[in-house]
Structure 1
Amino acid sequence: MSAAPSGPPPAAFNAGLGETGYVEGQNVAIESRSAEGSYDRLPALAADLVGRKVDMVVTVGGIDSARAAKAATATIPIVFLVGTDPVEDGLVASLARPGENLTGISLLIGQLYAKRLELVSELVPQAGVIAMLVDPKTPATERNIKYVQEAASAKGLRLFILRASTATEIDAAFAVLAEQKAGALIVSATPFLDTRREQLLELTARHAVPAIYAFASLTVIYRELCIYAGKILEGAKPADLPVQQPTKFELIINLKTAKALGLTVPQSLLARADEVIE
């Protein structure tokens, strides 16, 4: 079940299940539901899945998907993918022992925003204004803005917030970005914006603005999520499976794009990069 207009790529989903011996159409059936970005539809979608007596609910697209599933059932196992702290948000009792019928993966998205601001300001040290593109419909948006605002203030930078929850609003946001003469852009990690990657890449190139994104790809994350789902299908209890968090963070620099923008990437950044695209 997803809050976003599109859910996990089927290949990534099936790869994770396949590693635990489950193959769609052979020994497992998958019912997909998407709120298409309308968060108020999530409770009904969760209730529908529970009414079909599914063996498990896998939620992606943020905290609201997980909350809707939790509200719908206290017995059916739920495996979630969230970017926030599931303990702080009331999903689980603790990361080590979630309790009840939920477990999953937390991506620590909020805690990393300050680091992204640091990286992009190091890439464009002359930028006095940094823009941040957010989806106002995403529940964690204001919290994430606060993380970046605090980091920007500490560096003496001005943070300008661009809000967009449709493709048309993204186009309009980039027009405002140009008017504000922002030196760089931080793209918020949200279900909707993650599905608009091609549009964002085209606009950042057209407006010649350096940008930093949260993910190069969600494929690996979805695979890990479905491996966890497979373990539960095999008999493991969610309450006994710790909530997973990232253990490795990678910095990927697109040197080809940087050159096209006329940017010289500092050696200090290149030395820390896990991958450089040339």
Structure 2
Amino acid sequence: MTTRRAFLVTLAGGFLVALPAADAAPTRKVPLIGYLASEAETAFGGLNAFRQWLRDLGYVEGQTIAFETRFTNGREERALPLATELVQRGVDVIVARATVSALAAKQATSTIPIVFSEVGDPVARGLVVSIARPGGNATGLGSFESVEVNGKRLALLVEAVPGMARVAVLRYKNPALQELPRSSLDVFREAAQKLGVALQVLHVQQPADLEMAFAAMTRERAGGLVLVGAPFFETHRATILRLTAQHRLPAISTNRSFAEQGGLMAYEEYTPDAERRVAVFVDKILKGAKPADLPVEQPTKLEFIINLRTAKTLGLTIPPSLLGRADEVIQ
């Protein structure tokens, strides 16, 4: 039969030997995608969306694409060892969510293509040479987020809570992540001075630190809280929401899920279909494009969400001028 993959040939000694058919195609390697996220898998649904977008692009898991996934569970010191694991597994592309994961991937390899997302100022961080021409092995979705946006968050919170005298700022302290020349602390200090409020800065590194931090806010009579964006806070969002409710602290976050689940406000960059855009980057790279030639994409809008139910629980009356500027009001 012509469809057989090999022919049986009788040699002089009477032995049968199988010879490969001339038209037999070589086995193709299934591309292996390494996926590194700085959150806990249970706190993040982006991986499923990313996989679905790749299916929409025609990939079949197990046949034309495969995955190796790693999550730091909010412990950012694990990012580099996990990125190194992916490199050792021989992945073809690394998808790195958030700045810490992207920097870890970049440190782990200078040759495997990296597609990052949610990275603030990738040029200053050394991930790319420029937004238009990344010039190395990394590209992806930058973040409209800059340290300056933190001053806006502080101003929104002060406007929402008239008479606030002291505001707390909660940051995740990652010793491995070098501060930019102009850090969020510089912005907060300038904004607090301009707004006439005292600033209480607290750092956490472990879940146990959260209880102590909120107790310190209560002792110092902080009238509100600004959460500085970090995967740690997304991983432990439920604990933070419980503590803000327990201590009756109006709070603003960098993630809309915080406001949707009971926080007072969120002010975040608007990035619709982020996982689709990451999938498109991966697809282009698997088809031969080089990260060095693929411009970094940037979001262009910030979204403001207010939870009025939480405001009523806290006894706050949100000024109409502030409500009018909200992109979404949760009733």
TM-score normalised to the size of structure 2? 0.76
**Residue in 1 that maps onto 2:61:** 24
Equivalent pair of 1:22/1:230 in contact (CA under 8 Å): no
What CA RMSD, in Å, does the superposition of the two structures yield over aligned residues?
A: 2.3
Q: 2:296 aligns with which of 243, 246, 256?
A: 243
Determine which of 190, 197, 203 is the counterpart of 1:150. 190
Give the distance between the partners of 1:60 and 1:162, measured in 2 at CA: 25
Tell me, what secondary structure is at the counterpart of 2:58? Answer: coil
Aligned AA for 1:152?
A
Residue 213 of structure 2 aligns to which amino acid in structure 1? A
Give 2:105's aligned residue: 69
Which structure 1 segments of 5+ residues have no match?
A: none
Instruction: Give 1:109 shift.
Output: 4.4
1: distance between equivalents of 2:216 and 2:146? 26
Query: Could you tell me which amino acid in structure 1 is paired with residue 299 of structure 2?
Result: P
Of residues 78, 98, 101 in structure 1, which corresponds to 2:114? 78
How far off is 1:17 after superposition? 2.6
Kindly, what percent of the aligned residue pairs are identical?
Answer: 44
**Which residue of structure 1 lines up, in the alignment, with residue 49 of structure 2?**
12
Matching residue's letter, 1:178: T
From the superposition, tell whether residues 199 and 38 of structure 1 become closer, same or farther in structure 2 (CA, over 3 Å). Answer: closer
Q: For structure 2, which runs of at least 5 residues remain unmatched after alignment?
A: 1-35, 258-270
Please name the residue that 1:175 is paired with: 215
Partner of 1:115: 152
Q: How many residues align?
A: 277
Using the alignment, how far apart are the partners of 2:170 and 2:82 within structure 1? 28
The CA deviation at 1:61 is 3.6
Q: Specify the alignment match of 1:190 in structure 2.
A: 230
Query: The residue matched to 1:132 in structure 2 has which SS?
Result: strand
The CA deviation at 1:133 is 0.9
Do the aligned partners of 1:135 and 1:141 also contact (CA within 8 Å) in 2? no
Indicate the structure (1 or 2) with the bigger Cα radius of gyration.
Answer: 2
Find 1:44's aligned residue among 61, 81, 90: 81
Shift of 1:36: 4.1
> Against the structure 1 CA distance between its residues 263 and 111, is the aligned structure 2 distance closer, same or farther, given a 3 Å change threshold?
same
Distance 2:74 2:151 in 1: 26
Q: Which residue of 2 aligns with 1:104?
A: 140
Evaluate the alpha carbon distance shift between residue 185 and residue 99 of structure 1 in structure 2; reply closer, same or farther with a 3 A threshold: same
- Structure 1 length as normaliser, TM-score? 0.90
Shift of 1:151: 1.2
- Relative to total residues, which structure has the larger helix share, 1 or 2? 1
Preserved CA contact (<8 Å) 2:77 2:174: no
Amino acid of the structure 2 residue aligned with 1:85: D
Asked whether the equivalents of residues 141 and 297 of structure 2 are also in contact (C-alpha less than 8 Å), the reply is yes
Offset of 1:94 from its aligned partner?
Answer: 0.4
Higher strand share: 2
Kept in 2, the 8 Å contact 1:123–1:269? The answer is yes
